[in-house]
């Protein structure tokens, strides 16, 4: 029987709306980073996830993530097509209807595969992307949601991930790396960011939405919600400044693009830890994110990986770093439902976080590389060189972002 808590329910609907806004924000962020001839293509890849992922979520996604399968890798189909869900069906979080939980988690499912698209920007066919989107949700995203947030294997083992360091950022970043290595380099060198103001708009929307992403993951309004909110802003701010400072020191110029990238990297890094660590720890996590992710992107450039928009360096490395630092700084003083980390002498929890991030990285990379190979047997993944030269907006969609 549902005993409705109107305050928590209203808060979760607001957070749901904030997380939904992050996907258009990501579209603007990525759209500004590519050249003028490929803006619509990469923005469409984010927007189509809002439609197609919702369809899959309704048909089977929510059920596979949150129905049955206790202690396992994937759930069952008992809630397929939202069968049996009514206005009074309770959610795993007291006082909140199941329909709100379904909607909130759906917004996470929408943005996670969209993150990957920045890695293979300007060179993947739309048909292949739609197949990839479907298979990746089924074989990578849904299993990790179930294993960590749905009472599955990793949750029962004691792994923590407050809002998606593993479930969202690390698996998306490792999938991005696999995509880059399989799809290969672009045949036509892109001119780089064509609109930094568009990137700024996307950064602002992502930062704003991230409060719903992190604070909402407490699923109620309490002191943990508040510290998750504060930690999100602290990490993003310190991370952006750290990236700016390192870039200014090494490149001899303060980069606006660097400032924004550092903030997003730190947002990804604080995500798994936001509701489990102190504000002081969040400051350290933000600084670490700005520095480590900066050098991860530099390493990517040195290795000549064509990760067009630095998804691996920002989200893959950031997510992994956040999970590891959660293992270091977690404290029950700021969340009694969490754990104590390495600083508090808990080596066991720290070790579990390390194993979990290694497991998720290998799984996401292997399954992503394998599914791209399989898709390529049926429909080309890499667009023809002529399409790259024309620009994917016109070649694939017959549209242009700008008339001149």
pLDDT in tens, 6-38: 999 999 999 999 999 999 999 999 999 999 999
Residue 177 CA: distances (Å) to CA of 8, 73, 138, 181, 271 = 38, 23, 19, 6, 20
Q: Tokens in use for 191?
A: 């001119």
Q: Domain ranges in the chain?
A: 8-397
pLDDT in tens, 360-400: 999 999 999 999 999 999 999 999 999 999 999 999 999 99
> What pLDDT does residue 140 have?
98
First to last CA, the chain: 60
Residues constituting the chain = 404
Quickly list DSSP for 15-60.
HHHHHHHHHHHHHHHHHHHS-GGGHHHHHHHHHHHHHHHHHHIIII
Number of other CB atoms surrounding residue 209 within 10 Å = 25
> What pLDDT does residue 152 have?
97
pLDDT in tens, 171-211: 999 999 999 999 999 999 888 899 999 999 999 999 999 99
Distance of CA 223 to the CA centre of its chain: 25
Give the CATH architecture of domain 8-397. Answer: Orthogonal Bundle (1.10)
pLDDT in tens, 71-120: 999 999 999 999 999 999 999 998 999 999 999 999 999 999 999 999 99
Q: What is the mean pLDDT of the chain?
A: 97
- Is the whole-model pTM more than 0.85? yes
pLDDT in tens, 319-359: 999 999 999 999 999 999 999 999 999 999 999 999 999 99
């Amino acid at each position: 029987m549902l005993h409705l808590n109107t305050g928590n329910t209203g808060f979760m609907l607001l957070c749901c709306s904030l997380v939904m806004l992050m996907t258009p924000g990501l579209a603007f962020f990525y759209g500004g980073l590519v050249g003028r001839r490929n803006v619509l293509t990469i923005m469409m890849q984010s927007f189509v996830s809002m439609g197609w992922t919702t369809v899959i979520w309704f048909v089977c996604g929510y059920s596979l993530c949150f129905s049955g399968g206790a202690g396992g890798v994937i759930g069952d189909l008992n809630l397929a097509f939202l069968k049996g869900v009514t206005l009074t069906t309770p959610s795993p979080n007291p006082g909140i209807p199941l329909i709100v939980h379904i909607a909130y988690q759906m917004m996470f499912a929408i943005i996670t595969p969209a993150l990957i698209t920045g890695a293979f920007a300007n060179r993947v066919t739309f048909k292949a992307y739609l197949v990839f989107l479907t298979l990746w949700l089924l074989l990578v995203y849904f299993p990790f949601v179930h294993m960590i947030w749905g009472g599955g294997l990793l949750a029962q083992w004691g792994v923590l991930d407050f809002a998606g360091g593993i479930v969202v950022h690390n698996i998306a970043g490792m999938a991005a790396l696999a995509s880059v290595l399989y799809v290969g380099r672009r045949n036509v060198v892109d001119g780089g960011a064509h609109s930094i103001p568009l990137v700024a708009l996307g950064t602002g929307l992502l930062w704003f939405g991230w409060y719903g992403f992190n604070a909402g993951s407490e699923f109620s309004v309490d002191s943990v919600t508040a510290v998750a909110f504060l930690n999100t802003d602290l990490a993003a701010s310190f991370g952006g400044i750290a990236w700016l400072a390192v870039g200014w020191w090494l490149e001899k110029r303060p980069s606006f693009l660097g400032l924004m990238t550092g903030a997003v990297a730190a947002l990804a890094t604080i995500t798994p830890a936001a509701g489990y660590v102190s504000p002081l720890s969040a400051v350290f996590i933000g600084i670490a994110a700005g520095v480590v992710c900066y050098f991860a992107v530099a390493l990517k450039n040195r290795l000549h990986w064509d990760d067009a928009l630095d998804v691996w360096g920002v989200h893959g490395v950031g997510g992994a770093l956040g999970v590891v630092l959660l293992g270091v700084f977690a404290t029950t003083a700021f969340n009694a439902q969490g754990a104590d980390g390495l600083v508090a002498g808990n080596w066991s929890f720290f070790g579990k976080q390390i194993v979990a991030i290694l497991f998720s990285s290998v799984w996401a990379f292997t399954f992503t590389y394998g599914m791209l190979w399989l898709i390529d047997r049926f429909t080309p993944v890499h667009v023809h060189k002529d399409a790259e030269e024309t620009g994917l907006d016109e070649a694939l969609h017959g549209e242009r972002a700008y008339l001149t």
